[in-house]
Structure 1
């Protein structure tokens, strides 16, 4: 499989793997990702390269990306779809065809060479080529298109198109890794080849990334069959091999039935996933492999060097410099001039209701007192992309933008992609994470923030409980959330969040610089290597691929 690899494969990782994902966050210039799933896949590819693994990524070349996040004339969120052109991709001169809704659609393959961004080789698929009619060309226009037919067509292109491109290249992977259920048509393509579900299961592994309904896609089984999701496999046979008798077909359940092993992305998520899918008969085992981020890409080298050399003064000075670099971006976008001496709290991730971007301001009076405190001043930055067709999430974003107008120490930034994410993680003092408990599968942004001396303040969900040493490397917002109404959960979580900020974190920052620096140093030391993706990709080989 080393045809596309420009590096010598390590014997430890010689089993050939094709890693299928709808999105990959590899580089700022390659806008084919939306959020955490893509950031995770990007780190997976970087660490596969670092460890010289025999792995190839298979993804999609989105002509318009996810969307470009701008502002309208009133400075509210503006969603723009702009065509992207990538001259650095290598045309593999391979075109395969797939059947979608009874029609032949052509798929062209392009390569992100491994040496370009120091990643494992990545094949990207496009239907936006002259051989197709306009409708077929739109399949690979927008990531997570809101139209169900287009979305299913995208999944067929990824799963079936990706498998056929590998075949054309003479690549015969021993393992097919589905990063989320989107690429499930690939398992049916393999079933057509082997005519034996056990032969398919031997070769397929599956990662489930979220307990959220939107991330566990369901469609009418007859609709999927008509679209060509199951390829040549008749509906009765699909029902037989998946055991899905209902009218609704869950991609996650299908993936659990057609894989040899699956994983959740943190210890808590592993438990949640096992509980969620416990009624599914004959499903594969679900273990947990906690997500991680690639240190080489994310960490500030000067910060790490100062830590290694025990240069406390240099470490504090470097952090201040990184804050200034972030504040230049704040000034550029908002006209507000932030002060590097002041405690800076950052909430930055995909804007979704369950992540509760507005939890901090739930009790408005208490929030106003906090941001107007002259003795212990703070600065707050919000950033993140809502799904472009989620009006509720967009309204939350705009509401926070509106509130920020009245305060010179609150900023809302747009353009939340790799580069801005990097600046925010390096410049934050506190990295705030406020999901509803058990609904955050992992929350990997806190890992790359911790690598850069940002101290995590988080609900005890996702990866956080595996990392947190309370008051030593991070802080936890206590929650009694399970089983309470959403209103009561938000009220209590807000109260606990404000208590910990007012009584512990803010006074500590201003009154005990040494202890603050110690927590910052512990944050960096403890997150590496446990949450560096080198550990994660090694575990995928030992616990999944070689299982």
Structure 2
């Protein structure tokens, strides 16, 4: 089964999480969803790629909201053999002096034109391992630092060994975030010198938050990894005090990029002396477009799903057709709010949508921070709120934020629906059915953000902090509205309330034609640019082709 991929595959993309479908709990949030959209576009463009991730049999987190409005964490198990095929070539990785066996599973993503892209999922749940080691690939981002380091050893070192055992001849390795930064060490161990390793590695960093860069003590690394490489050599590449996975990847990659123009600037400041490119993230248009809009787009631009640049033609659609599609998408969200949150919403009133990972810098509570002011605005222009998001099991601040939001939702006179257990299928409904998409991260901590891109594909207007991708996508009053053109972050709540009261909600209520015109501009201006087809072509031309020997294969760039 794997043989058909070996001769044509030259690029390997490593990511701790990849969101392929809701039933496969191999993702936690934006990083995994981006990786899943990357798989989809790689298949659409017929790129010579293989993807590597962990099986994560227990998933990341199934969120329950109890009667007190508090998040309860549960495992979210799934069975790989329901969706993937086990491969016979198991490999052993040495961890704490033991052989830990890794079994690969194959999942095949098939494009509408029939091109297949392989995804290899690594699994230590095999009889040859002791009970402790069988659980290393069970829980995504679970456990303590030692557990996390073992997972990153399996992804980077084990993943490279598995690809080699399966017969892949990889020329370029793409490390999606620092979790796979040990992979270049495996190449060094095989005899490549540092410059040769750098030429083969591409690194995308997603984290402008200092605490988000994984660090491990060298004592712990020596204990778990053993004599895989000389610790002194690793210190020269990853830092003297702690093994910084981001710094290691930076020093062992020839091409490094942030995921928006702003994020690249932030990363250059965090890691001076490194050349940091910018490839702004995108989303997979076909994946995130509501069926009603997909039908509409197909009638106007039949190739929009593989060539999202064709969405520029949407500007010529009739107002009536666009609004009918929006009403269908909004109806699905209203049904979801009733079923999942027992909250009745009015289709005639605007819905403000907010769905993000619940953590401090995302500022999910900013909209609700001045309740009296929000009630005054609601009295003038009634609106509704839909929110969703999970807090990491160890993020007590994020859990407290969820508790505060759900408490307000329970007692408020403003209809607020908090949708529990946010995941891919729910996200598709929420981003498509809202009227206004709110995003309020604290600048410059939003690396890119992609939920607003998904919303825009469905004509939902963004109202967001000017950070990440929205700095590039915002045309004030045309594609949406920005928060933060003036003043400091302390002014963001005031700006948010002022624009809601004086600009956005009156516009929705009093100028339906103008609102629909903005919806069309959002689709036609954002959709053709902020998509993973454009993103992958950028990686192909700016990063991958630096390492590809046979540049005559135009499928890498054109998908033909």
How far apart in 2 are the matches of 1:59 and 1:500? 43
Aligned pairs for 1:119-134 (under 5 A) are 120-134=117-131
Preserved CA contact (<8 Å) 2:15 2:180: yes
Are 1:453 and 2:459 matched, yes or no? Answer: yes
- Displacement, 1:311? 2.8
Separation of aligned partners in 2, 1:17 and 1:481: 45
| Counterpart for residue 57 of structure 1 | 51
Shift of 1:300: 2.4
**Is it true that 1:111 corresponds to 2:124 in the alignment?**
no
Equivalent residues in 2 for 1:82-97, closer than 5 Å: 82-86=76-80, 87-97=82-92
Residue 486 of structure 1 aligns with which residue?
none
Q: Look up the match of 1:250.
A: 244
- Cα–Cα, structure 1 residues 116 and 123, in superposed 2: closer, same or farther, change >3 Å? farther
TM-score using structure 1 length: 0.92
Q: Which residue of 2 aligns with 1:40?
A: 34
Uncovered stretches (5+) of structure 1, i.e. residues with no partner: 483-488
Residues 72-471 of structure 1 correspond to what in structure 2 (within 5 A)? 72-86=66-80, 87-115=82-110, 120-228=117-225, 232-240=228-236, 242=237, 244=239, 246-278=240-272, 283=274, 285-306=275-296, 308=300, 310-371=317-378, 373=379, 375-407=380-412, 409-471=415-477
Give the ranges of 4+ consecutive aligned residues of structure 1 lying more than 4 Å apart after TM superposition.
116-119, 479-482
**d(CA) in 1 for partners of 2:492, 2:402:** 20
1:24/1:119 CA distance change after superposition, 3 Å: farther
Q: Does 2:533 align with 1:539?
A: no
Q: Is the 8 A contact 2:332 2:433 kept in 1?
A: yes
After superposition, the C-alpha distances for 1:355-408 in whole angstroms (9 at most, x for unaligned) are 00000111221123233x1x4210001101111111110010111001100136
Mean Cα deviation higher: 115-124 or 188-197: 115-124
Give CA-to-partner distance per residue, 1:409-459, whole Å, 9 cap, x none. 111111210000000011010110100011000011110110011100011
Per mean C-alpha deviation after superposition, the further-off stretch among 128-137 and 432-441 is 128-137
1:266-310 Cα distance to aligned partner (Å, 9 max, x none) = 0011111111101x5xx4x21000000001211124325536362
Q: Pairwise CA RMSD of aligned residues?
A: 2.0
Does the 8 Å CA contact 2:387/2:419 hold for their aligned counterparts?
yes
C-alpha distance in 1 between matches for 2:131 and 2:407: 40
Please tell me whether the aligned partners of residues 60 and 76 of structure 2 are also in contact (alpha carbons under 8 angstroms). Answer: no
Displacement of 1:2 in angstroms is: 8.2
- 1:485 is matched with which residue? none
Please give the per-residue CA displacement for 1:511-545, whole angstroms capped at 9, x wherever unaligned.
Answer: 00011000011111111221111000111111111
* Contact 1:268/1:461 (8 A) holds in 2: yes
Q: 1:248 to 1:94 in 2, by over 3 A?
A: same
Q: Which whole-Å CA distance do the structure 2 matches of 1:480 and 1:471 have between them?
A: 16
Q: Deviations over 1:179-226 (max 9, x none)?
A: 001011111110001241111111111000011123211122232232
Q: 1:339 to 1:455 in 2, by over 3 A?
A: same
* 8 Å Cα contact 1:319/1:427 also seen in 2: yes
Give 1:481 shift: 6.4
Q: Aligned residues, how many?
A: 525
1:239 shift after superposition:
2.7
Which protein, 1 or 2, shows the higher relative CO under an 8 Å CA cutoff with sep ≥ 6?
2
Counterpart secondary structure, 1:58 = strand
Question: Gaps spanning 5+ residues in structure 2: where?
Answer: 301-315, 547-560
